[in-house]
Each structure stands twice: as C-alpha cells, then as structure tokens.
Structure 1
Amino acid sequence: MNEKKVIVIGAGVAGLASAIRLQHAGYSVSIYEKESMPGGKMHRIDQDGYQFDLGPSIVMMPEIYREVFELCGRDPDDYIPMEKLDPMYSVYFRDRPDEPYHMSSDMTSLMETLESFGDEDSQGFFDYLNEIYKRFIVARDHFIQKPFRHFSDFYNPSTLKQALKLKTFDSADHFISKYIKNDRLKEMISFQTLYIGISPFNGPSLYTMIPMIEFLYGVWFIKGGMYTMAQSMERLFLELGGTVHYNANVEEIRIVNEQAKGILVNNQDIDADYVVCNADFPYAMKHLVLDTKAKGKYTDRKIDNMKYSCSCFLMYLGMDKKYDDIDHVHNFFFNDNLEQNLNDIFAGNKLTDASFYVYIASKMDPSLAPEGKDGLYILVPVSDLSTAKYEWNDETIQYYRDYVLNSLKSIKGFEQIDQEIVSESYTTPIDFAEKFNAYNGACFGLQPTLSQSNHMRPQSKAKNCENLYFTGSSTHPGAGVPIVLLSAKIAVEELLRDDEKTVAYAHDSNKQRGNDHDDRIANSV
C-alpha cells in the first residue's frame, strides 16, 4: 500500500473529491480547512430553525456527483438521495407576473411552452439543440476531461481539428439568435451562462451547452439541499481513513528547490510528499505560493489583470408562512432589459433594474424550515469587487434588499413578503472574498473567456514546481459543481501520473542494483 502523504488545502467540493480519490488510491490524505465545516462555497446557513444552502443550489449532471461514491464501491443513494425536478424551474417576466413559463425536461411539457412562441421558434429550438449537442460531445471527449500539461497537448493536428468544431468565437446570445427570434425564449435558454459567472452577451457560444444539459438530462434535488453533498463527501473520506483539520488556516505552500514539501498552517510546518490546493487559484498564487520562481507567469500583476466572473449578493430569509402559490423550487425573475442588466454587472454599475433568482428548498424538503414555514434563498448577480464602482456596506445591502422585495410584491403569493420575514442574513462579495478566499469576491473564479479557457486556463499540475497540483473553479475545466468535480479527477490523475513515473524510476534503479525491494514499490501504485 502506498504510504505517501498528501495534503489537500481546502474542504471545498473539489478538495473533498480529490481527497477521496487519493485516499481510495492508497495515499495518506489530510485536509486542512480554514472554516469549521466542509463544503467551501457549498456551505450551509443555520438560522433560527431554517437551513439554507449558502451558494450552489442547482444539481445538473447527477452522474458526476454519483461517480465519486461509486468509485469507492458505495451506493450513492445511501449518501446523496436525489429526486428529479419537473418542471425544472419557473421564469417570471415583469409584465406577466401571474403567468410564469414553466421549463421542463419532459418533451411533452416542454413543447407546450415552446409552441406558445410559435412554430418557427419551436423548430429553431431543436435546431439549436442539435448543433450544440454535437459541440458538447467534442468538448466532453477532447477538452473538458483532458489536462493540458504541455504546449503540444493542445497544439497538435488532432486537437486543433477538434477545437475548430467547437466554433467558440461567437457569443452565446448571437449563436442562439441564429435559431430563435423571440427575445424572451432566447433569454430563458441563454441566461444559464451566469451559472459559471459570464454573460451570454459576451460569453463564448459553447456555454449554451449548459441549458442543453438541463433540457436533455434534467435538474435534480438532493434531499437536505446541496450541503448534503459536502457532508456526504466528508463522511466518505473519513470512512476511508482520511483526516480533516478544521479551523486550520493555511498560510503558505512550502516550496524548496522547486518542489512542494508541505504547508505552513497556524505557524506550524506540516510535511507532505504532495500538495493539492483547492484554494481559489488566483488567491493561492498570490498569497500561498510565495516562491517567485514557482509562480511562473502568474505574478501578482498578472493575477490582478486577469478577468474575473461576476459575484453574487445572497439573501437568506426565514418566513412565517408556506408559499403555496409559488409552484417550484427554482424561480427566475427577469427585468425588462436583461442585456442592459448584465452589461451593468460587468461594467461595475450599481444595478437599477436587476434580475434575480429565488430558491425555495423547503418545498422539496420541509425539514429545512420550521413546520408550516418556508425559507427563501434569493440570489442577485452583481459585479466582482475589482469591477464594482460602488462600495458594499449596509446602505448597499439595504438598497438591493428593498429592490428585490418590492419586485416580488407583484407576484401572486409574495404581495406581503416584507411583512412575513422573521429571520434574515446575507452574503456579499466581501464575504466571498474574506470567508472563502474567492479572489475579488468573484464566486465563480476566473471568467471563462476564450483567453482563459482550456489550455489557456490555469492547469492542475503546477508549471514551475513539482509535487504541487491545483483544483477548483479557477482551474481547467472551469466553474460549476459538476465541472469542479471533474477538475478534481484531472488533478488526481495528474498526481498519479507523476507518482507512477517516480516509482517506475525507483524500480528501474533498484533492479539494476539487484534489489528485490523494487517490486513492492512498483506495485504500491
């Protein structure tokens, strides 16, 4: 059995998944987490008898969630029991507050919604699905699950041929406009690029595969909310024999002679053979990797000049009633001009006309709120801290709070919402920066622009330092829970690849010296 020691920095989604994979592979793995609980941004808010997911809330591609448990021979249903949602979500527009569109992954139900926009757009929708599905297969098989360690991993005839098939130079909105003319239908199947922190009006067209995944594979709910995933991964890791250290603030990744040797945590040196960093990559390169040579091209100046995703303002409201007039768990509220709204976000303007999202998890799991009551999770996409032209303070919080509540009053069931709140708290971009080390408070990490995607995005294996690996939303392949779970898989595969080389070298050297000990070393991987 491999006795090598691995330290994982951060118990976020990708950190937990990396730790599980490595512990299962026979390494001795320890997680060091600055907070008192697992999950990172997949935290939980416990508030006056109400429980809220702090950040992620929508489950897509459930097979990727399940894979980490199946890898270890566990039944995922024993850890993360899921239920498919149908409809997936409702979309409200300001001028028809009592007539939301219900978006479904069931074809019969979906056709009712599509045909309300006319036959031409209904046909166009399926033409869009056909085209983006072809690109999705290319991305899945040749890019999303593949590391780009070397220049030649991307710049070779085979990969370049596949890259041309992605047709990434168009924007998401412009691409969908080729097939669908109705502005509202376009908005309902393009806003999902915000799931990874980029606007559909300037994000690459490839990211319209996100709504495609929803329509073809569905949206799911995990009993207990998303935090159940974090808790269950921690549980599995501990069952495998791993160790978690909470309230352990990592201050530095110790690098000696171009090799990661461990970490400095709470002023104590901890040695390791390998370090896997789940802290946000820009934060880690600026504050944890202090060795100038190990930074490589990611100098402090470059980190500051990179493009960051939007951030979010979140409200967690404990209510004194059930909202039976609201049909679904996931609800999106669009303003009159989504394009202007998103342009303002990425220009740093204080929003005067915002769109937002309301998540009522207690509709699916009543145990998340006191009996007979609901909890409302409300998310407003806003500018990251480096872009915002305004300060986050009590006045800003009150401004957005009032805007959201006044907007909701036009919706049947929410008419008296401001009088029904019995408990409330908030998460702002400053909280994401200070509590979760999200650089610039950008809760989706680096923006997935063309110049910050695939081979041009930070990779799992450190370029200028051995035995150091990165995972999480700012690394390849990007943001979103399923995708960061894939980043964990890539990081672990990269580490195993290097360790096999090391063991193979030791095996050959020992064999030349006639040392029979080599077989045990080689077989330990």
Structure 2
Amino acid sequence: MRDSSNTPAPPPAADQAIVIGAGLGGLASAMRLGAKGYRVTVLDRLDRAGGRGSSITQGGHRFDLGPTIVTVPQGLRDLWAVCGRDFDAAVALKPMDPFYEIRFADGETFTARQDDAAIKAEVARISSSDSKGYAKFLKDSEARYWFGYEDMGRKPMHKLWQTAKAIPTFIRMRADRSVYGHAASRVKDEHLRFALSFHPLFIGGDPFNVTSMYILVSHLEKAFGVHYAMGGVQAIADAMVGVIQSQGGEVVQGAEVDEITIAGGRASGVRMVSGETLAASVVVSNADAGHTYDRLLRNAPKKRWTPAKLKRARWSMGLYVWYFGTKGTREMWKDVGHHSIVVGPRYREHIKDIFIRGKLADDMSLYVHRPSVTDPSCAPAGDDTFYVLSPVPHLGHDNGVDWAAEEEPYRAKMLKVLEERLLPGVTDRITESVTFTPETFRDRYLSPFGAGFSIEPRILQSAWFRPHNVSEELPGLYLAGAGTHPGAGMPGVIGTAEVLGKLVPDPLVRHESPAQYALRMAAE
C-alpha cells in the first residue's frame, strides 16, 4: 500500500482497471478483475482499506467501524479460490455460540443458536404454541434463500426480463408481504415476531415494509452460522489488499476521485481531486451508487439515475454508533456475550419514527458488540472494547435531526439504557469514546443523506429496479457495493463483485492465463 503522492503514470489502458473505493465490494471486485488478468489500481480517500469495514485504534482499543459478523463464509472462500488462494489460510473465523441474545423491555430474552434442539427449546420456552409456526417459518426462509440468494442474488439483473421472469415465484412466495407480516403469519408471540423480523435493519430495511424475500437471512444464520473474524473485519480487508498486491495490483490510500472521465462515449478513467488523470479501459465504482451518479458523473447526461430520481428514492436509515473502551471490565458483566440486542418498549411505532416520520425518538433499540470477549487483541489486557449502534433517521427528512445539538444528549440517553439494562456500572469505567452520527457517514463515506446502507431494499428498489452492476448510463462503468445488486450486508457486497465478474469482459491484453496464475500462486 502506498500514499497517493507517489502515484505513477498509468500503464497502457488496454488491460488497466480502476476501482473507486477500497470498501469490501471494491476490494472483492479488484480481486476478481486481477484474476481475469487486469492490472488493477484501487483508489480510496480514507487512510485504511475496508471502507465501512475498516477500523480505528484509540487508547489501545481497536474499534471495528462497520460490519461485525460473517454469515456466509463460503462467499469469501469462493472469492479467494478464484484468485488461486485459500481464505482460511489468510483469515481465522471463529463460530459464535450463541449467535446473539435479544433482551426485551419486559424482561423476556431470546437466545439465538445454530443447534436445532437448543433453538427449538428456546422457542417452546417462550411460546410452545408457536413451535410449529416457527418450524414453518424456517422452511419458508430456506425456500427464499435458494431463490433469492443462490439464484437471483448471484446473477446479473440489469435486464428487465430477468426480473419479470421471477414474478410468478414472487407471487407464490408472497413477496408482497413484509418481513414482519410473514413472521406474524407464522407465530403469534410478539417476542418471536421481533426475533424473526428484525434482520432487515442490518441491511438498512424497514421490517414492516421490506419484502418478505429477506426472511432468507434466518436460513443464512441457521445453515452457515454466525462467525467473527479474528482481528475484526479489518483483518479481512487487509487480507484482500494482500491478494490484490500479489496479483500485481495496488491499493492507494488518501486518493480521492473527483470525476469519472469519458472518451468516445465510454468511461476512460478518473480525474482525482488533485487534478491528476488516470486512464483505464474498465472503471468500477464502489462509491455509493447515489454519489457515483450524482457527483462522479455530474457532467454526463443521465437517462435513469438523475438527481431528481435519486432524491425520490427511499434511502436506508441513518446510524448513531458509539464506540467506547472500558477499564478493568473483562471479568464484569458475565452474562453479556459478544452480540446483544437491547429492544426498546416500542417496535412498529419506533420503526415508523425512523423510516417514515424522520423523528429522533426518546426510546431506542440497541445492537451491542463486545468483541473483546472473543478477541482480546482489540483491547488492553483486562479491558473491553464496545460498539453500540442505534438506528436513527437519515438526513433527508424534512424535519431533519440537528446532530450538532443532539449528538451528546443522544449519547447520554444511550448510556442510561446501557446502565439500566445491560452494563450496570459502565459509566465510571469508560476510558475512550468515539461517536459516529449520520453526518459522519455523509462526510466520511460520501453516503447520500448519511444513509447507513445506501438505497433501502424495498421490492421496487431491488433486482432490476436497483442501480445495475453494469451501468446503464455509461459503457465501461461498473458498480459494486451496497447500492447495487444484490445489496447491502457483507454477503451482499461481496456478491456484487461476483455478479460484476460475470459482466466485465476479459482484458484485451493478458499477461498470463487464470490457470498459469493459479499455479504460480500455489507455488508461492
């Protein structure tokens, strides 16, 4: 990895590819292009690779900034295999047991596990009359996994007929029903309805409006488990950089792209904020799709993804994230594991406040990440590292939140919830503190409206209706990351690179065949 100040003149453009953004989708795309024989340059404005999956270190605490779990390790293993490498030799995954614990406002709990007997017992303990309905829900989830994830999710969806072909299956699977609506059709207990329907929040979706196709996440957990990457997701990003470099590519940090250049009606490269121009035959944007079309292609005519259309789109919610370290707490809070979800007193109305009303509510539901119980390397000896996330409205609502005024009061409310419901005594133990608001997401990640997960994955903003992996606005431009197909979440953004790899043609100049490359990698 090198600094942008030493950026050399670009090599001949025939086999040169540029990837804008070193997020996980961009790094995965660079790996796949490198395996095809492209000379790849990844350009990223931040100081460390990984994008939202990167980390910061403060006072001896490593704070994972974004994704914290791996739910489909096979996607990563397939990516490494395409490059002639072994993922498990590069990154150590540790399975979580339990996956997470949900703590409800009335004192009830739900502990999610992979073991059949354990999870059936947990459901029966909460509501024995819902055991059969829960089993039916899991079957529903598996069916949607095979269709929505393994079929549609791994194919290009840039042609309308590809989505139209799926309409009969959508009808049969009741894709018109929401995730919560489907959960409610199978179980009656509200605790179980929450446990089966909250997952869309982790990809930026409103459980009461996102299509029930997304119940497939329950099958992902059950079939593949929930894993933690030792060293955090940053370890995955760093390993990806290593593969790119071994392919002859490079990842340049501190390098911000200002515009995608055009020549002969095609993407021809990029112009940097510094004024430097880099040429390439293929340009991949892992920047948010909204930023790509609204900013990076601001001088190009657009037929579909116009500023007006992007403004009308429904965007995912914003995120308030508090990262903090605590002193001498490793042996405290024995009942608090790696992943906890602290649920507020309202569900439906709170979701409406976030997604529809754009109101910052007084109550909150929290996702609490305590990686130090699994990975001591993220904190000083005997200490803990925490990451606490609360979904909040994005910045695009008419009555937008004034985060300059609300940031500290909201943190104080969050601390009160943690003290009362999960971590008694935490206030006096905090030594390090960092907060991200939706304004941070807007400024750090160039995310439109500070949205946490780009465009919300509603049914008419998925598949063909989402920005395509191959740009419909400019030949030679491809899109990766949360804002394109198949969508947000680590499996989704890694999947965008798999789809993109099927669309980008082989380079006109090849330095070695994929077989030669694989043999060379195996010998190293």
Calculate the TM-score normalised by the size of structure 2. 0.91
In the TM superposition, what whole-angstrom CA distance separates every residue of 1:490-521 from its partner, at most 9, and x where no partner exists?
Answer: 1122112xx58x89xxxxxxxxxxxxxx9x99
Distance 1:149 1:279, change over 3 A: same
* Counterpart position of 2:39: 28
* Counterpart position of 1:367: 377
* Identity, % of aligned positions: 29
For the residue of structure 2 that corresponds to 1:113, the secondary structure is helix
Distance (whole Å) between structure 1 residues aligned to residue 415 and residue 298 of structure 2: 45
* Counterpart position of 2:4: none
In the TM superposition, what whole-angstrom CA distance separates every residue of 1:336-377 from its partner, at most 9, and x where no partner exists?
Answer: 111111111112101111101110011101111000010111
Q: Is the 8 A contact 2:339 2:367 kept in 1?
A: yes
Matched, 1:417 2:426: yes
In the TM superposition, what whole-angstrom CA distance separates every residue of 1:94-145 from its partner, at most 9, and x where no partner exists?
Answer: 231xx63321111121122111123321111001111221122122343111
Code of the aligned partner of 1:76: F
* Counterpart position of 1:76: 87
Distance 1:283 1:289, change over 3 A: same
Distance (whole Å) between structure 2 residues aligned to residue 459 and residue 79 of structure 1: 31
The answer to which structure, 1 or 2, has the higher relative contact order (CA under 8 A, 6+ apart) is 2
- Of 177, 184, 205, which aligns to 1:198? 205
Q: How does 1:85-234 map to 2 (within 5 A)?
A: 85-96=96-107, 100-156=109-165, 159-234=166-241
Code of the aligned partner of 2:377: S
- Of 289, 294, 298, which aligns to 2:297? 289
- Of 456, 476, 489, which aligns to 1:467? 476
**1:394 deviation in Å?**
4.2
* Counterpart position of 1:513: none
Q: How does 1:334-373 map to 2 (within 5 A)?
A: 334-346=343-355, 347-373=357-383
Root mean square deviation of aligned Cα = 2.2
Code of the aligned partner of 2:434: S
Q: Is the 8 A contact 2:360 2:401 kept in 1?
A: no
Q: Is the 8 A contact 2:178 2:207 kept in 1?
A: yes
Code of the aligned partner of 2:441: F
Code of the aligned partner of 1:398: E
For the residue of structure 2 that corresponds to 1:418, the secondary structure is helix
Q: Is the 8 A contact 2:469 2:496 kept in 1?
A: yes
- Of 41, 50, 60, which aligns to 2:61? 50
Q: How does 1:268-307 map to 2 (within 5 A)?
A: 268-293=276-301, 295-307=302-314
- Of 2, 18, 21, which aligns to 1:7? 18
For the residue of structure 1 that corresponds to 2:40, the secondary structure is strand
- Of 315, 331, 336, which aligns to 2:340? 331
* Counterpart position of 2:500: 491
Q: Is the 8 A contact 1:349 1:388 kept in 2?
A: no
For the residue of structure 2 that corresponds to 1:116, the secondary structure is helix
Q: Which runs of 5+ in 2 are unaligned?
A: 1-12, 518-524
* Counterpart position of 2:320: 313
Distance (whole Å) between structure 1 residues aligned to residue 418 and residue 473 of structure 2: 51
Matched, 1:398 2:405: no
**1:290 deviation in Å?**
2.6
**1:280 deviation in Å?**
0.3
Q: Is the 8 A contact 1:135 1:165 kept in 2?
A: no
Matched length: 499
**1:524 deviation in Å?**
12
For the residue of structure 2 that corresponds to 1:143, the secondary structure is helix
**1:388 deviation in Å?**
6.7
Q: Is the 8 A contact 2:315 2:455 kept in 1?
A: yes
Distance 1:153 1:207, change over 3 A: closer
Q: Which runs of 5+ in 1 are unaligned?
A: 504-517
